[in-house]
Amino acid sequence: MNFDKLFALAKEKGLEDIQVTVSGGTEFDVEVFKGELDKYTIADTAKLNAKGIYKGKMGTVQTEIINDTIFDFIVDSIINSAEQIDSEDEVFIYAGDKEYPEITGLLNLELDKVAAKQKIEDTFNLEQLVLAKDDRMNMVQAFYGEGTTKVVIQNSKGLKLEKEVNSAMFGVYAIASDGEDQRTAFEFIFTNDYNDFDFEDLATKAAKKAVALLGAKPCESGEYEILLSAAASNSLLHPYVGMFSAEAVQKGVSLLKGKIGEQIANKLITIVDDPFKAKSPKSGSFDDEGVSTKYKELVSKGKLTGYMHSLKTAKKDNVGATGNGSSVRPTNFYILPGEAKYDDLVASMKKGLVITDLAGTHAGANAISGDFSLQASGFLVEDGKIIRPVALITVAGNYLELLTNVEAVSNDLEFNFGFIGSPSLKIKSLVVSGL
């Protein structure tokens, strides 16, 4: 769509600059439950976000109508929005960078060539695969989802950028029961290459995880060596990602304020924000401000090297923007894997707990203080052997202290739905409340 008329109208009505972001795509979702097709959805999405500078203030508007009949509405709405702004912060419409990185693997056209019928059949088969893994598998919901998204950013300073990505996911919710106890598990594979879907492995992992926790009971309270599984570790990292935002630092609500150059974790820990990760819809060569993205080691061998910046926070700190957008959000944010093997880390524990699941991180993890107190489940380990499953326990500590007390980093990097990733981490000790 040609926005030249919009830009001319905006200038005529007194806007200094204006930027539009048009995003749209398709979604396809299937769910299977008890041998029946429980959900089948095909949807198209489209929206336009516009922002403009009027008398030094940034006004915004969003609409799902995308044609030249609404140009007056867009400009007038931006002006009305800007007139309500009291903030004296400097605002920006960005002219763009000289170069943008070329990223491959974000759009796989082969995914569309797999027939919808095949994807539905595979979802039905996945449910049956999980049920067949163990007689104690009681209930399974299998699902498949895919989406394609195209984003175009254009502004009155001559910037024009485009990206298109697609992704797909198979997953299962599994429930196991032995007549006295019932446990759940969730497993998924996220990619944009249909050849990556290993249904046998996915089914095995889901069933094994659910069945292994049957009969879980609390352990005694005390201090234990801890092995945070990759899934538990990335769920614990998630609520603390915001402390790496320069916006949080500048507002005084980040533990990391004033700590650049300081050791905040064990030297085994390196934390990155990676916009170049293949097969991830969070990857891309530019952010929503039109800034070129960059691979960043925010923590390098335990030392804090910097923060994630928008144009606004970068100007305040007199540094360059990092390509994390106006809201200062991560792309693919993760702890780099180490060289240790998971089984070897279990075998190295004298008296410890393998934590496989943490519940309530949205409420039990304080992003400002770093403290956490979370319900957990997993396995009791004695002399390097898994003794029994445990549940209804609470682990507590402080996240920065936890990172300082890391003793080993596994090679089993995993990501969650939010594209936050971590390998398994062996921790010196945490306080555990149980019996």
Summarised one tens digit per residue, pLDDT across range 216-274 is 999 999 999 999 999 999 999 999 999 999 999 999 999 999 999 999 999 999 999 99
Closest Cα partner for 52 from 18, 7, 86, 98?
18
* E-state strands within 245-398: 271-273, 296-300, 303-304, 333-335, 351-359, 371-382, 385-398
**Cβ atoms of 177 and 211 closer than 8 Å:** no
The reply to whether 186 and 315 lie within a common domain is no
Q: Are residues 134 and 222 in the same domain?
A: no
Round to whole Å and give the CA distance between 41 and 27: 8
User: What percent of the chain lies above the pLDDT cut of 70?
Assistant: 100
**For residue 308, which phi and psi values (nearest 5 degrees)?**
-85, 135
Among 169, 190, 210, residue at a domain's last position? 210
What's residue 435's pLDDT? 82
Q: Tell whether the model's pLDDT for residue 1 goes beyond 90.
A: no
| The domain boundary residue, chosen from 178, 210, 242 | 210
- Assign 51 to helix, strand or coil: strand
Per-residue model confidence as pLDDT tens digits over 13-67: 999 999 999 999 999 999 999 999 999 999 999 999 999 999 999 999 999 999 9
CB contact at 8 A, 285 and 163? yes
What pLDDT, on the 0 to 100 scale, is given for residue 43? Answer: 97
In terms of domains, do 56 and 193 share one? yes
- Residue-level pLDDT at 134: 96
Q: How far apart are CA 137 and CA 130, in angstroms?
A: 7
* CA dist., res. 140 & res. 185, Å (int): 10
Residue 59: closest CA among 74, 41, 72: 74
Instruction: State whether 220 and 112 are in the same domain.
Output: no
Percent of the chain clearing pLDDT 90 (strictly above):
97
Same domain, 352 and 423: yes
Same domain for 200 and 247: no
Same domain, 126 and 86: yes
CATH number of the domain where residue 82 is located? 3.30.2290.10
Query: Are 21 and 54 spatial neighbours (Cβ–Cβ below 8 Å)?
Result: no
Closest CA to 274 of 293, 287, 291, 301: 293
Average pLDDT of the chain, as a whole number? 97
Indicate the number of domains in the chain.
Answer: 2
The arithmetic mean of pLDDT across residues 173-192, rounded, is 96
Confidence of residue 84 (pLDDT cuts 50, 70, 90): very high
Distance of CA 16 to the CA centre of its chain: 35
Q: Does residue 83 surpass a pLDDT of 90?
A: yes
Same domain, 310 and 190: no
pLDDT of residue 358: 97
Structure tokens at 216: 């879980």
| Helix-helix angle 116-132:199-212, to 10 degrees | 40
pLDDT beyond 90 at 417? no
Given pLDDT bands bounded at 50, 70 and 90, which one contains residue 126? very high
The CA angle 352-355-356, to the nearest 5 degrees, is: 145
Domain that holds residue 138: 4-210
Tokens of 131: 């049920």
| Distance separating alpha carbons of residues 329 and 290, to the nearest angstrom | 14
Tokens of 203: 């089914």
Shared domain for 201 and 63, answered yes or no, is yes
Cα R_g (the chain), whole angstroms: 24
Print burial letters for 131-149: b (CB count within 10 Å at least 16), e (below 16).
Answer: bebbebbbbbbbbbbbbbb
Contact 58, 69 (CB under 8 A): no
Cβ neighbour number for residue 342 with a 10 Å cutoff: 17
Question: What number is the average pLDDT over the span 187-207?
Answer: 98
Residue 362 has what pLDDT? 87
pLDDT computed for residue 172 by the predictor: 98
- Write down the pLDDT at residue 40: 96
Judge if 186 and 250 occupy the same domain.
no
- The answer to whether the CB of 161 falls within 8 A of the CB of 286 is yes
Please identify, among 176, 210, 244, the residue that sits at the C-terminal boundary of a domain: 210
Asked whether residue 222 falls in the same domain as residue 141, the answer is: no
Answer yes or no: do 335 and 206 share one domain. no
Look-up of token digits 């004695």: 382
CB of 431 closer than 8 Å to CB of 219: no
User: Which of helix, strand or coil describes residue 78?
Assistant: helix
> Side by side, which strands form the sheet with 414-415?
303-304, 296-300, 271-273, 333-335, 420-422, 414-415
Q: Kindly state the average pLDDT of the residues 347-367.
A: 95
